[in-house]
Amino acid sequence: MKLVIQGGNALRGSVKISGAKNAALVLIAASAIARGEVILDNVPRIADVEHQLEIVQALGGRVEWQEQGRLLLSWPDQLDVALPYHLAKKLRASNLFLGALAARVGQARMPLPGGCDIGFRPMDLHLKGLNAMGFDVELEHGFINVKAREPRGGRIYLDFPSVGATENIMMAAVGVPGTTIVENAAKEPEIVDLASFLVGAGATISGAGTDLIKIEGHPAASRGVGNSGETTRFSVIPDRIEAGTYMIFAAAAGVEVTIENVISRHLQPVIAKLNDVGLEVAVGEDSLVVKRSGPLRATDIKTLPYPGFPTDLQSPMMALLCLAQGTGVISENVFDNRFRVADELKRMGAQIRVKGHLAVIEGPVRLLGAQVKATDLRAGAALIVAALAGEGETEICQAELIERGYEKVAEKLCALGASIKYVD
């Protein structure tokens, strides 16, 4: 699938941000821990969510899309514990069923997960956490087998505040007796959303959003929390990465764009950087107005775990810095291979040098439409940034990767005045 964009149209108007992909993906897995039905609102209808739902169904769960963005999930008493290879390979977030199944059934079997090609993404911290809680963990022939041996609360220090490891440990800990403490935990808003959901379903968790999270597992909780007759209702937070991406689209090609359905405090590190490059951002109650009034200035960016600048916006920022006056330096500190988009941007005229985890971007350059390839979801978003600001037509191949995480991106950008369409 291709996205074809004619550059040069000015963006104006408002855009509504969808629910957060990375919150929805973990909540879908975590729904297995609730004994009763789960109703999630504000769920984005994107490819990664559909893939996660295919896994729910393969494990025996029931899935029903109700009205716009509302998803009903329910799980039988007996569920399968083995994730099918062909489904798990589709996305990295399939690994989140590990913690959920460990809590609900005391065991899980899954192939090492797939996902975006952005570098080495091991599972050691997830497995170390499960091991500390009394689970046997075995790796055999590309599969991870987890089985409760003597489940009990544990104390786990994460060498790096991994989002997925924090989530898997939190979920598994709900199903083991005793107290689990996660030190150097990830502090992302998606972690807070997971904790709020689990607490709503009957779990006891404190400290989410700080680097020390405490989970009180219930002795009899290994078959989930809550009662089978109860419904847990929860609304997914807005997607801070989608919101940040639209802010960058507006910076590249906008006049004035209102971004609705946001939690502005989740976007503080992004707003601060966009201010540095010369963008005006007015913060409303649940919206932002982004205005570009003059030329863009270069800045330096360091990606870091939350509340640092998000790695997921690094590629779109790289495209933006091509349009800014001066030399910008990006240092990528979360993933080891997230600069692949630089070569694609160079095809459009960008001047970027990459060395190890540093990228140096010289600007401003005239970006010219070209045939390019989305190498991953966020690289795809970066190419849209360049195409919107570029001259002439850009054809982005592998645009299905963009569909993994951006709901109705062509429709939303068209409504803002862009010329963008999908071609098979």
Point out the residues that are catalytic.
116
User: Is residue 192 near ligand EPU by the rule CB under 6 A?
Assistant: no
Of 51, 90, 104, 121, which lies in the binding site for ligand EPU, with binding defined by CB under 6 A?
121
Asked if 311 interacts with ligand EPU (CB under 6 A), we say: yes
Contact criterion met (CB below 8 Å) for 34 and 56: no
Stretch that binds ligand EPU, among 8-16, 17-25, 63-71, 98-106 (CB under 6 A): 17-25
3-state SS class at 78: coil
Q: Does 132 bind ligand EPU (CB under 6 A)?
A: no
Segment interacting with ligand EPU (CB under 6 A) among 142-150, 158-166, 293-301, 361-369: 158-166
Q: Is 126 in the site for ligand EPU (CB under 6 A)?
A: yes
Minimum distance of ligand EPU from residue 10's CB (angstroms): 28
Residue 163 binds ligand EPU (CB under 6 A): yes
Site string for ligand EPU, 332-361 (x = CB under 6 A): --xx--------------------------
Query: Around 165, how many Cα atoms within 13 Å sit in the side-chain half-sphere?
Result: 24
Through-space distance between the first and last CA atoms of the chain, rounded to whole angstroms: 5
Which residue's CB is nearer to ligand EPU, number 51 or number 378?
A: 378
Residue 160: CB minimum distance to ligand EPU, A: 5
Quick one: which segment of 159-167, 200-208, 359-367, 408-416 binds ligand EPU (CB under 6 A)? 159-167
- Which of 117, 136, 138, 160 is the binder for ligand EPU (CB under 6 A)? 160
For residue 364, say if its preceding peptide bond is cis, omega within 30 degrees of 0.
yes
Rounded Cα–Cα distance for residues 110 and 323 (Å): 44
Distance in angstroms (rounded) separating the CA atoms of residues 23 and 72: 16
Query: Which residues are within 8 A (CB) of 224 and not within 5 positions of it... i.e. 6 or more apart?
Result: 32, 33, 34, 35, 75, 103, 104, 175
Q: With contact defined as beta carbons under 8 Å apart, do 154 and 132 qualify?
A: yes
SS3 379: helix
Closer residue to ligand EPU in complex, CB, 35/378: 378
- Of the candidate spans 18-26, 252-260, 365-373, 389-397, the one that interacts with ligand EPU by CB under 6 A turns out to be 18-26
φ and ψ at 2, to 5 degrees?
A: -120, 155
For ligand EPU, which is the closer residue by CB, 189 or 226? 189
Query: How many C-beta atoms lie closer than 10 Å to residue 149's C-beta?
Result: 12
**Interaction of residue 94 with ligand EPU, rule CB under 6 A:** no
Q: Which is nearer to ligand EPU, 87 or 298 (CB)?
A: 87
Q: Does 124 bind ligand EPU (CB under 6 A)?
A: yes
> Tokens at residue 90, please?
């589709």
Q: How many residues bind ligand EPU (CB under 6 A)?
A: 25
Backbone angles phi, psi at 376, to 5 degrees: -155, 175
Q: What is the 3-state secondary structure (H, E, C) of 102-170?
A: HHHCCEEEEECCCCCCCCCCCCHHHHHHHHHCCEEEEEECCEEEEEECCCCCCEEECCCCCHHHHHHHH
Question: For 239, phi and psi rounded to 5 degrees?
Answer: -80, 110
How many CA atoms lie less than 13 Å away from 350 in the CB half-sphere? 35
Check residue 123 for interaction with ligand EPU (CB under 6 A). Answer: yes
| 215 contacts ligand EPU (rule: CB under 6 A) | no
Residues at the site binding ligand EPU, with contacts judged by CB under 6 A: 21-22, 25, 92-93, 116, 120-126, 160, 162-165, 311-312, 334-335, 377-378, 405
